Structure 1
């Protein structure tokens, strides 16, 4: 089985607008870059992920080895649907769709999510409030419409029912903790604040953060490596 990860990323200057009341534009951009790099790093280390693709017009954010997909327009759900079809056309048997703002996400959680999702061929990761959806795992090429947005977890469950598909609901801390609102930021600062303290400081502090890149990755010989430091410095 070939499992691809699929993300969608806005240009940093357009992202995280709901944090504008507590972060400057420069701080929001740095935060977006660091969180994306953290998610890519976790995907790189995950045993069950064979390749990564990102729908984005900001291709400069992507390190070497990550596939850039064109944004067809029409919003997030349309872009992800088109992205999934493109990956299936490239030979993907499974697609893991996830958000790029999951700073606690680990490789072991990604592997667990994919493995559990294979039992039914569809898995959902709710956010910590149980309202949103932070990841969807889909096996096969059957029809499924993404429903990200307000109350997306309920809407994804309804979509599964409409398609007569059994959805496995998987609660994992790294998938549950996204950062969209000031309250999310405050919650994360109270638990794992070193990442954000670095991101919200000076440009230099990003390079001094605990997110140090590995000297090599398992993808390097293929070649599919990427550097966390590269993502932070050049994103």
Structure 2
């Protein structure tokens, strides 16, 4: 009964940090490709009870319906942290034993990497984290029970999340994974993603090649 939570904010104006290289329509299209790849990896992973999007975005809602994921709007306008926390509260009320959350901009993630995070997770209370490639962000967080550790996402959340787990008496387990670790947020990330072996064969890489972004 571990559920995945994928927060998706409304896609208008997505990825502002990429605006020097991509106009608004391409940023939105890139985000759609990436979200699709992340959701597909979550739904294909063994060991998850299901996946839930926290979103108000019509496109993301339609994608979830097509792929077989749940949607909640609870907390969808409360930022990344608020969305995940609201989703975790909802799933806790329904009896979930834990939650795994990832962002929508890690398109090299695979079902095997999701399963690796699940395999590393210990008995509750437990907290497992896969950091971003720069060891600043938290690109996968798995915790049991669903509200075991207070979360605070942002560009510098990895070390604070380790401290938050320890503050409630849980020794965090760290699982560095190349696909999960490679988020696309800044212009430099486009080339870094293109050089990543795990990116080969992704629709995101094909999109970047098609539009001359790598």
> The TM-score by the shorter chain falls in which range?
0.7 to 0.9
Which deviations, in whole Å up to 9, do the C-alpha atoms of 1:132-167 show, x marking residues without a partner?
Answer: 110100112454211111310011011112111110
Residue 193 (structure 1) shift: 6.4
Q: Is 1:170 aligned with 2:178?
A: no
Q: How does 1:63-142 map to 2 (within 5 A)?
A: 63-64=64-65, 65-72=68-75, 73-118=77-122, 121-142=126-147
Residue 59 (structure 1) shift: 3.8
* Local SS of the residue matching 1:79: helix
| CA distance in 2 between partners of 1:189 and 1:112 (Å) | 23
Residue 60 (structure 1) shift: 3.0
* Local SS of the residue matching 1:147: coil
Which deviations, in whole Å up to 9, do the C-alpha atoms of 1:89-121 show, x marking residues without a partner?
Answer: 122111001111111111111011011012562
| CA distance in 2 between partners of 1:145 and 1:5 (Å) | 17
| CA distance in 2 between partners of 1:56 and 1:79 (Å) | 8
Question: Which residue pairs with 2:45 in the alignment?
Answer: 46
| CA distance in 2 between partners of 1:185 and 1:178 (Å) | 9
Q: How large is the RMSD of aligned CA atoms in angstroms?
A: 1.8
Q: RCO greater where, 1 or 2, for CA within 8 Å and sep 6 or more?
A: 1
| CA distance in 1 between partners of 2:155 and 2:26 (Å) | 25
Residue 48 (structure 1) shift: 1.1
* Local SS of the residue matching 2:116: helix
Deviates more, 1:165-174 or 1:143-152: 143-152
| CA distance in 2 between partners of 1:98 and 1:197 (Å) | 19
Which deviations, in whole Å up to 9, do the C-alpha atoms of 1:4-59 show, x marking residues without a partner?
Answer: 00011112222211111111111111111111110111112111111111111114
Aligned residues of 1:77 and 1:145 also touching (Cα < 8 A): no
Q: How does 1:1-235 map to 2 (within 5 A)?
A: 2-61=1-60, 62-64=63-65, 65-72=68-75, 73-118=77-122, 121-191=126-196, 192=199, 195-200=203-208, 201=210
Larger radius of gyration: 1
Say how many residue pairs are matched. 201
| CA distance in 1 between partners of 2:147 and 2:106 (Å) | 27
Structure 1 gap segments, 5+ residues each: 203-235
Aligned residues of 2:92 and 2:147 also touching (Cα < 8 A): no
* Local SS of the residue matching 2:143: strand
